[in-house]
Structure 1
């Protein structure tokens, strides 16, 4: 190993400090970093020095998202190889860094530096100085906003000697200032909106204006326990049947009128047998009765003036009875709510001189009477 003395360490340090201070003054948004750690030195064989672990300390600044400068000091105490003489190395260098992924937690970087090293073989009282250029790469891992773990590798190319060496570093650094955005704070997901505060988020809430304190279902709507269409907190009659029509206060509406239903039921000539094809027509009466409590129905039979009046009246009674029997026996309407009456030709509704008029008069009518005021269904 041939070493040429070049005592320029003081000049280099002054220049480095001047560069750092000048850069800081030029940018008020500068970020600062100081760190320390260990360094593993790997020497080329011709260097005749044993590989070993040393120490590293540095201070630096970063004046924009990508670019930074560092002043680094490395220190090593090892032995020559193979003579086992004490060997000390102390080097200083200034490096420029270019960062990638500058807004992420993991930021790779490349470096290029220049400096000088002092070598001393203590057992023989020999020392020397050489300048060197180094290239490197590393990774900054921002554990949080201020603390950074840095693995790195640097290759040193010495100017005054032929042999080079490599270092593997691992340091812990503290960062402050605001030049870059090294460790973005985790973005907390915004809580889903719940405008009415009922515990159901707006995206699932079908009733977004529910008053405070009102119990709601999974869709965010107030409860309607009796199923009458009026929410519980507005319902003055909470036990109303679900089929009953109610007012805005949830109370049943009253019915006090008689309703007539014309039935299109035809009979064969001189017959009182109800054909199955008319059951659906009669079902309309059964359904209507189910909607009104406290009502009853009168099935009225009517004929035209053809034939003897006495016969026609009897025939209309038999036909009315037949329709009433269908309501009771097939459609389960209580017998007490059904009656039948034949009027024969006594109550015509059309002109008997025409065929159409006579057909209109041959009819069956169901009259539902509100015997007592009842609750009207929907």
Structure 2
């Protein structure tokens, strides 16, 4: 029984601490009715059950009040199953907390009498009780009251607990002051997003905005819709101040740092990142084609160098198509051998500079410049 009492009181306290508050006005008089569930010690030989409750109350001040409670219960004995009627009434003093709230916890201390009738047998006793509860005001005149009370019998060792739920009508207080409305959040640009959350506080009137108060940018090109003259630009393309793609017509050369083993045309995997630059460039400039040019120095015969440079250019072109996914129609290869030197062949550095691979990308039509 003690365990049940402890749990019930803990639930009441936890509920008291977690409910939120708002302004409420105190009324002096109270009348209420509801249910009362009895939890008996095992020694009392009575089944736990639910009965009826009525109460009358008076509130002296914001914090102090008193009430008279009547509980009636029809149940049975545990052992013999005989009908049993339990009646108790008790007078309690109440101390209220959180008195400026619509949800007011309270503690109570009281004394009363009880009578148990089983057949022709009747037993009367007195008991002190401690309790806790909540007055949850639905409006100025009605309140829901969950509560728990534990009774210490002054004549016997058996105690019991009641858990009550009451609906009360209250009257006799002053008119409740209307709560002061919270200030309306400011929205200087009138876009429907409060200034405290608005990251674009000067949006022109009538412009559609997102949850952060910034104008919409449907195509994600960095130009707001209301300023965008080309509202369906592909996301990867560079745009001007009006949101329209920047056009490109120039031919662009990309030098590739791709080296080959002596007398080899096999592209090593370590150079794929270099070739990937060309693939990315082609993806950014639609309507373009790439010519992979192979060049050598003057070491060896001109005919051999011509053949070697062609094979190496073909190898780089194959990587672009097969590994990087560039369309075959956009890539071609040309070996120039030693025909187009860019440095003096009399030095080692010059010869190294002439052994090169170049990708030349040219626009076949006007294309859009990507970001």
TM-score range (shorter-chain normalised) is 0.5 to 0.7
For 1:270, the equivalent position in structure 2 comes to: 263
* SS of match in other structure, 1:213: coil
Shift in Å, 1:199: 1.3
> Aligned to 1:219, which of 212, 215, 229?
212
- The 1:192–1:354 alpha-carbon spacing in structure 2 relative to 1, beyond 3 Å, is same
* SS of match in other structure, 1:377: coil
CA distance in 1, matches of 2:313, 2:291: 9
For 1:305, the equivalent position in structure 2 comes to: 298
> Is residue 2:249 matched to residue 1:280?
no
Question: TM-score if structure 1 supplies the norm length?
Answer: 0.52
> Aligned to 1:250, which of 220, 227, 243?
243
CA distance in 1, matches of 2:173, 2:362: 95
Shift in Å, 1:188: 2.4
CA distance in 2, matches of 1:205, 1:313: 65
- The 1:174–1:299 alpha-carbon spacing in structure 2 relative to 1, beyond 3 Å, is closer
Shift in Å, 1:360: 0.7
> Aligned to 2:313, which of 297, 311, 320?
320
> Is residue 2:183 matched to residue 1:193?
no
CA distance in 1, matches of 2:369, 2:100: 70
CA distance in 2, matches of 1:174, 1:230: 60
* SS of match in other structure, 2:370: coil
CA distance in 2, matches of 1:240, 1:358: 46
* SS of match in other structure, 1:339: strand
Deviating 4+ runs (over 4 angstroms): 171-175
* SS of match in other structure, 1:305: coil
Shift in Å, 1:259: 0.9
CA distance in 2, matches of 1:309, 1:203: 74
> Is residue 2:357 matched to residue 1:364?
yes
- The 1:193–1:372 alpha-carbon spacing in structure 2 relative to 1, beyond 3 Å, is same
- The 1:355–1:174 alpha-carbon spacing in structure 2 relative to 1, beyond 3 Å, is closer
> Aligned to 2:197, which of 177, 194, 204?
204
* SS of match in other structure, 2:333: strand
* SS of match in other structure, 2:229: coil
For 1:230, the equivalent position in structure 2 comes to: 223
For 2:288, the equivalent position in structure 1 comes to: 295
> Is residue 2:351 matched to residue 1:355?
no
Q: Gaps (5+ residues) in structure 1? A: 1-36, 39-103, 107-142, 145-170, 176-182
- The 1:308–1:184 alpha-carbon spacing in structure 2 relative to 1, beyond 3 Å, is same
Q: Deviations over 1:103-148 (max 9, x none)?
A: x979xxxxxxxxxxxxxxxxxxxxxxxxxxxxxxxxxxxx99xxxx
Shift in Å, 1:186: 3.4
Residue pair 1:317, 1:340 contacting (<8 A) in 2 also: yes
* SS of match in other structure, 1:318: helix
Residue pair 1:301, 1:317 contacting (<8 A) in 2 also: yes
Q: Deviations over 1:165-209 (max 9, x none)?
A: xxxxxx97989xxxxxxx986332211221211111122211111
Q: Which moved more, 1:211-220 or 1:297-306?
A: 211-220
* SS of match in other structure, 2:253: strand
Q: Gaps (5+ residues) in structure 2? A: 1-27, 30-98, 102-138, 141-170
Shift in Å, 1:362: 0.3
* SS of match in other structure, 1:197: coil
- The 1:174–1:336 alpha-carbon spacing in structure 2 relative to 1, beyond 3 Å, is closer
Residue pair 1:105, 1:184 contacting (<8 A) in 2 also: no
- The 1:173–1:275 alpha-carbon spacing in structure 2 relative to 1, beyond 3 Å, is closer
- Indicate the RMSD between aligned Cα atoms, in angstroms: 2.5
- The 1:204–1:173 alpha-carbon spacing in structure 2 relative to 1, beyond 3 Å, is closer
> Aligned to 2:233, which of 240, 259, 265?
240
